[in-house]
Structure 1
């Protein structure tokens, strides 16, 4: 029961063959057994409170379903630390817009999922809660910044998980935990709140799950139209489609992206599954210079982060990790001409993707398999030195830079037994097309059934 997907659990709740209290008790029992080894779920609420809340969960599409929220999204009455010691005891008085939608849909918020400080870096460790470990090999990283969410799903501690994605924060941990993660088109899941609506369009929230039907279930709730946010294009609506798609396989972007041996082979085999299903797959030359994408991305990212978190560096510099300090200082130093050039490069790439004749771009979701959990970040990939804390995540930038929908599907396991994922990137607004392709792939593979052995040990 507890290992079934969310759609199955909700159907059992509605049929009366499963009660919300029983589901909650079994969920908490599994967390008690497994989480001490993996450290995916943090700020867990008291059992008695959760059992009582499950019994009175409001009617809705997620009624009675236990969920843990990524520790970057505000949760009323539950500690939200953002992985930062400066916010170790921070308890928001209100939910973020996305969390409010989940509560209104009947989800029972049990606690949080672990994340790196302020979501920076794709390895979920922080001074507040420590390291989240990979369920398939606890000596390895679970990825990030939605690493706690990905690991909790893989361990069957939750059936649905929210995530967010600026620089692959949904896609990298989905691939490393053998689950699905979907970065929607920018605007489909509206963030809400005051502030600038035009310049900082690099990040979005989205769903993670163990089935495509569960991704769509959660996305439908997350994407409810927000009249306060003019970019809001929700809600998500599935589309029936049997047409065959044109898929461009980009591999390592013509050699621009360093790859650990085995990554490309696994992902090429995964793309081959789509070809066997009748979709047209062809190798594709790099459609844009990788260094131009990286130049635009890193400057706009640093500038956005500086605009959001500069006050923290000024007020509590001893609580700012070096990577965040580097981002803020770099963003503050950016000139108007540099920002204008970065935005022009982003616009050129957006025009290029819009004119592509292919429906989907395919790339690995990461450039290496899960690395040692005791590292901060990998210094080299296949002999190539990484010149920043996030250069090893460069493969996710093409979708992030222009807000394209990107689905990570499981691609299999490397020689050490840890998972890898494949990105399927679509045109802006064609989210249903991407998810339909993911459903085709899911039906033809059984990677999700290969759950980690996390009991005992």
Structure 2
């Protein structure tokens, strides 16, 4: 098997056994990027090949040290990375080179990985479609005319195209889950607090976004999660680290006795394009075949209340974080319309509206906790649409129902994100047009290991990423064209 087809687990084992050298892994990675990235545009700000090969060769004779020893990684372009251009997809920061690493990046480096560059993301991570005026659009390896989703779209596309063995991502509104579903890989949103952020900004109200792992196998997710998780003493609400890899490797051979709630489209509140619920039904059949009991569950909370709460708190946080940019006319002019909408909405909020939203969020958390007393997990679709045209900013309607914001078409991820639950996207196969889809396996807060173990059992039974890799052929134009397609 070629190196690029190996999992991070297999590569790490081969390096530890002196059956594979880090320099061989790096050469295979860079060769693959050179071959397919021009068509996909997933990896950006790639470092010099000679410098990367020198770093890898320096590890060839060194004793393996760290869970990611010798593995090449590219960091999502929302995380500051020392010495490598970090832009947040924004022309405001197009030339920014950080002097220090974010905590997550520092932990990845300390585990022995070699950072080769960045993965593409939407501007400021806003929107589940990866395009920006700095690098252009990323394309889906399964159809170069389609989006890989976002905001971790570059990471998902790089994984699917075998450019990287694993990747980091981040998730506020499905950004670890949606692109994983669109690219036939795994993306795990951890319980909020398991993977800490960096101190320095607001940290008590900002509890809806988290970083997490992406990979082509659940064991690889667990390997990376073990590296990036664990408390930051300078941040509140932290959860303790665990040996997730060992727990996942010991996953049961079946799911007998597990009770899983199927929430579907939330009683019609979350319209899904034709074929998506049917694809998820196939995933549910796998769970049943492994011994789980799947129970249809009525919508447990009013969807519109969750949505209004979501857009209120999200806008409040965006306004607070980006007020300085908003107050500078020159920088405001460089913000994309979706970001401007978030900030301007936040600027108009009253304290009463924010308090009411937080109250609804609190009630939903309590309701969800009670529901989990009767179920081991919930399952929902990961996305409401199939991967759409790369030149489209966002889906305007689903089944004739108009979307009233740039992100309403991803409303299905809101129940999880609003209250910080762990959620794993698992692939469920392909639709009639040959495009991938996934479903979310959702656990109670703090039940990350249990969700991953369930996902590992599902993975062993399906192997969707391994059995159905993309065939990447030149089609759909060149990524450079995306700058004119998307506009500025």
TM (normalized to structure 1)? 0.98
User: Which residue does 2:316 correspond to in 1?
Assistant: 303
User: Which residue does 1:250 correspond to in 2?
Assistant: 263
* Aligned counterparts of 1:70 and 1:220: Cα–Cα separation in 2: 18
User: Which residue does 2:278 correspond to in 1?
Assistant: 265
User: Which residue does 1:373 correspond to in 2?
Assistant: 390
* SS of aligned partner of 1:122: coil
* Aligned counterparts of 1:237 and 1:354: Cα–Cα separation in 2: 25
User: Which residue does 1:69 correspond to in 2?
Assistant: 75
RMSD in angstroms over aligned alpha carbons? 1.2
**Per-residue deviation at 1:382?**
1.1
Which residues of 2 match residues 90-109 of structure 1 at below 5 A? 90-109=96-115
* Alignment counterpart, residue 133 of structure 1, candidates 120, 139, 156: 139
* SS of aligned partner of 2:361: helix
User: Which residue does 2:482 correspond to in 1?
Assistant: none
User: Which residue does 2:288 correspond to in 1?
Assistant: 275
Question: Is the contact between residue 361 and residue 418 of structure 2 (CA under 8 Å) also seen in structure 1?
Answer: yes
Deviations, residues 400-422 of structure 1 (Å, cap 9, x unaligned): 00000000000100111010010
Is residue 211 of structure 2 the alignment partner of residue 194 of structure 1? no
* Alignment counterpart, residue 434 of structure 1, candidates 447, 451, 465: 451
Is residue 470 of structure 2 the alignment partner of residue 452 of structure 1? yes
Is residue 156 of structure 2 the alignment partner of residue 183 of structure 1? no
* Aligned counterparts of 2:40 and 2:269: Cα–Cα separation in 1: 34
Question: Is the contact between residue 133 and residue 373 of structure 1 (CA under 8 Å) also seen in structure 2?
Answer: yes
Question: Is the contact between residue 188 and residue 236 of structure 1 (CA under 8 Å) also seen in structure 2?
Answer: no
User: Which residue does 1:14 correspond to in 2?
Assistant: 16
Q: Which sections of structure 2, spanning at least 5 residues, go unmatched?
A: 476-488
User: Which residue does 2:460 correspond to in 1?
Assistant: 443
* Aligned counterparts of 1:55 and 1:291: Cα–Cα separation in 2: 55
Question: Is the contact between residue 140 and residue 373 of structure 1 (CA under 8 Å) also seen in structure 2?
Answer: yes
* Alignment counterpart, residue 339 of structure 2, candidates 316, 319, 324: 324
* SS of aligned partner of 2:154: helix
* Alignment counterpart, residue 420 of structure 1, candidates 403, 413, 437: 437
TM (normalized to structure 2)? 0.92
Aligned residues: 457
* Aligned counterparts of 1:117 and 1:403: Cα–Cα separation in 2: 23
Which residues of 2 match residues 82-93 of structure 1 at below 5 A? 82-93=88-99
User: Which residue does 2:481 correspond to in 1?
Assistant: none
* SS of aligned partner of 1:138: coil
Question: Is the contact between residue 380 and residue 440 of structure 2 (CA under 8 Å) also seen in structure 1?
Answer: yes
Deviations, residues 314-357 of structure 1 (Å, cap 9, x unaligned): 22111111111110011111101100110011001100110012
Which residues of 2 match residues 44-83 of structure 1 at below 5 A? 44-57=46-59, 59-83=65-89
User: Which residue does 1:354 correspond to in 2?
Assistant: 369
* Aligned counterparts of 2:231 and 2:326: Cα–Cα separation in 1: 35
